[in-house]
Chain A
Amino acid sequence: MRYSPGRYIATGVFKMHCTKVLITAIGLLHAGALWAQMPSYSNIGRTPTKQEIQAVDISIGPDGKGLPAGQGTSKEGAAIYVTKCAICHGPEGQGGKIGPRLIGGKPDADSLTTTRPVRTIGPYWPFATTIWDYINRTMPRNQGGTLGANEVYSLTAFILAKSGIIQENDVMDAKTLPKVRMPNRNGFIPQKFSDIPDIRKRGCRQGLCP
């Protein structure tokens, strides 16, 4: 029963078909064989509850699907930043001994072609949703998950505004955040997500993808 990599048919359908065959086979063989039930592991594990899934289903992708209700602006974010972030990332987001630099660097491609490229959020990151996702899951350091949705929206807005990508008064929420266009969005190859997995098509060789 080898699964063909590359085709992802709904295995539920396949299994139902398989079960019918098995039932027939068991009938013919007088249901004697204990092994006939293989390979079903249906009694192993259980269905998680909605709450159990929600507790870990925290990833937010570029389309913003799953972003919670709530909102925030850069102004609100500035106040939170002072109390919860500045100790590691510095009062101006310039970075410190523990936290990396958050703000700075020219938001254009020039800085990326030098031998000291600036890869801070504004000039480098392709998606604004990644900021939300990372703050929400990991920040503050070792206290990830303690910030409320409004706080995360506000801090995301603060970084985006300080990086010159949105205005001070722009409200970030589940609708506006995924629409924020990051300056370096087109700086990543391959641009189309569907082209990523095929390393031969991408011309990767000797472990490198030129």
Chain B
Amino acid sequence: MGSDGTRFRNEVSVKGAFMNPKRSGRRQFLKKAAAIAGLAAGSGSLPANLEAEPVPERIDDLHAYGERSHFVNSLRTGSINNPERHLENEPQIFGLKTPLQDSVGMITPSSLHFINSHGFEPPDIDPAEHRLIIHGLVDRPLMLTMDELKRLPFESRFHFIECHGNSNPSGAFGTARLSPDATVQDTHGFTSCSQWTGVSLSLLLKEAGVQESASWIIAEGADPNKHSKSIPMGKAMEDVLVAYGQNGEPIRPEQGFPLRLVVPGWQGINNVKWLRRIGVVDEPYMSNLESTKYPSLKLDGKSHWFENQMGPKSVITRPSGGQRLPGYGFYEITGLAWSGAGAIRRVEVSIDGGRTWKDAKLHNPVLRMAHTRFSLPWKWNGEEVVLQSRCTDEEGVVQPTLKEVAKLWGTDIDYFRKITLTLANFNAIQPWKVHSDGSVQNALY
């Protein structure tokens, strides 16, 4: 969005403050009402109290609902039905990535939270009409309105949500991700972190009375895709939220308004948006995405399905791909680290291509299954350097190098850029090369 457009909207809004159509409409209504009241009272004059009633000022839109400065132009990028992204076996992707290069702190603005809705547009749901049904292997099937959900005890927790394909070098986004000019948005933009508020799923399941034979749930959305996901009961009872709030406001439409599941630390696909139903069942239902698109196909032809938990991952967001250091001297290297296993315990940064590492500072809050902001002071002397970060989570698991990921897969590193599939849970260390002219480039390969 150009600054011209924003400025134009500013002008409109300022005018609106003086000539607000709704305000004049209210005045006319008051006059009419006063006239009727006057007639009813058998008098031609207006009653004094009505005449004197102050007309509430309606604040112009920019003051009533804030917008960022028109000098700030950070946007989600990606593809919406971009024919260039179309692969032979895959539908076109609706995927928009978070501009991590512009991020500060550990929260993602809701307006910039990544979107991947598998090619379907968000439904337009009236929260007054929305219902959550819990049924199946329960003693007491339960139906709740949004208002009823909000009467229940709530929890507010910070969690990242990450697409299982985030940062992987192949598949629909592979070309953009592997380009030397890739930004951290291109490489890692399918992760975002919010404060989510809602009701613990375990509370709702206990209210419904889960029967002994139950071992899974199916969560289902009200979107045109009616996306459904099977989740083991252990996780459902552990820490899943039925969330209606995101960063202090109702969840946004593209994030699942009015209700979504937040499944901490697990592949994005589990976090069912526009949640309308929880089925309590005794086996995974093997819906389309979970049984045919998300299994991780390995070289032996075997597919590993339900690799739910995301591994430890970190990335330097500044300096990062596409940026340019304006000159020698001091820079605060900063980035984000997260793990599906819990909290980040340690982040190390290397400025010499991985030969030596220094501990970075972890900025509060450092929370379980949440982005953690890290930083390390650095003085650039104009030499060509390779910057990278690696994290260790609370279980002591260290983020792997590209070579180590290849070893885990039983292959070599070139395989990842040759295969046409989207690879799951790819969490290799991300190197950025700083050239002597200050330009920063993607150096995964």
- Do residues B421 and A119 form an inter-chain contact, with CB atoms below 8 A? yes
Contact A101 B420 (CB under 8 A): no
State whether A142 touches B224 (Cβ < 8 A): yes
In contact, B420 and A115 (Cβ under 8 angstroms): yes
Determine if A187 and B301 form an interchain contact, defined as CB atoms under 8 angstroms apart: yes
The answer to the question of B47 belonging to the interface, with a C-beta cut-off of 8 Å to chain A, is: no
- Interface residue? B210 (CB, 8 A): yes
Q: How far is the CA of A197 from the CA of B306 in the complex (A)?
A: 8
The answer to whether A206 touches B397, judged by C-beta atoms less than 8 angstroms apart, is: yes
Question: Complex formed: what's the CA distance from A130 to B287 in Å?
Answer: 6
B397–chain A nearest beta-carbon distance, Å: 6
Residues of A with C-beta under 8 A to B233: 8
**Across the interface, which residues of A come within 8 angstroms of B302, CB to CB?**
187-189
A contact face: mostly helix, strand, loop, or mixed: loop
CB distance from B286 to the nearest CB of A (A): 5
Whether the Cβ atoms of B83 and A97 lie closer than 8 Å is yes
Most buried by B among A12, A59, A187: A59
Q: Note all chain B residues with C-beta closer than 8 A to A113.
A: 299-301
| Chain B interface category by residue count | 35 or more
Closest to A94 in B: B88
Known contacts A10-B209, A46-B143; A206/B228 CB under 8 A: no
Residue-wise interface mask of A (188-210) relative to B, using a CB-CB cutoff of 8 A (1 in contact, 0 not): 11000110110100001111111
Which of B276, B310, B311 gathers the greatest number of chain A CB atoms within 10 Å? B311
Interface residues of B in 141-178 (CB under 8 A from A): 141-145, 148, 151-153
A96-132 residues at the B interface, CB under 8 angstroms: 97-101, 109-110, 112-113, 115-121, 124-127, 129-130
Interchain nearest-CB distance for A31 vs B (Å): 23
The smallest C-beta distance from A64 to any residue of chain B, in angstroms, reads: 11
Q: Please, could you name 29 A-B residue pairs with CB atoms under 8 Å apart, sorted by A?
A: A5-B235, A5-B238, A9-B212, A11-B210, A12-B139, A41-B152, A41-B207, A44-B151, A45-B143, A47-B142, A48-B131, A52-B133, A53-B133, A56-B133, A59-B279, A61-B286, A98-B119, A127-B286, A130-B286, A133-B285, A133-B288, A137-B225, A138-B226, A138-B288, A144-B225, A145-B226, A188-B303, A197-B232, A207-B311
Contacts of B91 in A (CB 8 A): 98-100
Q: With an 8 A cutoff between CB atoms, is B13 at the interface? A: no
Supposing A188-B305, A199-B309 touch, asked if A117 and B420 sit within 8 A by C-beta, the answer is: yes
Measured CB to CB, the nearest residue on chain B to A205 is: B397
Which residues 72-123 of B have a CB within 8 angstroms of A? 83, 86, 88-92, 119-120
Residues in chain B near residue A208, CB distance under 8 A: 296, 307, 311, 405, 408-409, 425, 427
Q: Give min CB distance, A150 to chain B, whole Å.
A: 20
- B418, CB-defined interface residue at 8 Å: yes
B152, A189: Cβ atoms closer than 8 Å = no
A193 to B231 alpha-carbon distance, docked (Å): 12
Q: Closest approach, in angstroms, between the C-beta of B354 and any C-beta of chain A?
A: 17
Q: Which of B140, B153, B404 meets A12, CB within 8 Å?
A: B140
Q: Let me know if A138 and B225 touch, CB within 8 A.
A: yes
- Report A-chain residues with C-beta under 8 Å of the C-beta of B283: 61-63, 193
B427 touches A206 (CB 8 A): yes
Q: How far is the CA of A55 from the CA of B120 in the complex (A)?
A: 21
15 new A-B contacts at CB < 8 Å, known A45-B207, A144-B224:
A3-B237, A5-B237, A8-B212, A45-B142, A46-B143, A58-B226, A59-B287, A97-B86, A116-B420, A126-B291, A187-B303, A189-B303, A199-B307, A204-B307, A207-B313
Asked if A32 is at the interface of the complex by the 8 Å CB criterion, the answer is: no
Residue A172 lies at the interface, judged by CB distance under 8 Å to chain B: no
Residues of B within 8 A of A8 (CB): 210-212, 214-215, 233, 237
Complex: how many Å from CA A141 to CA B301? 31
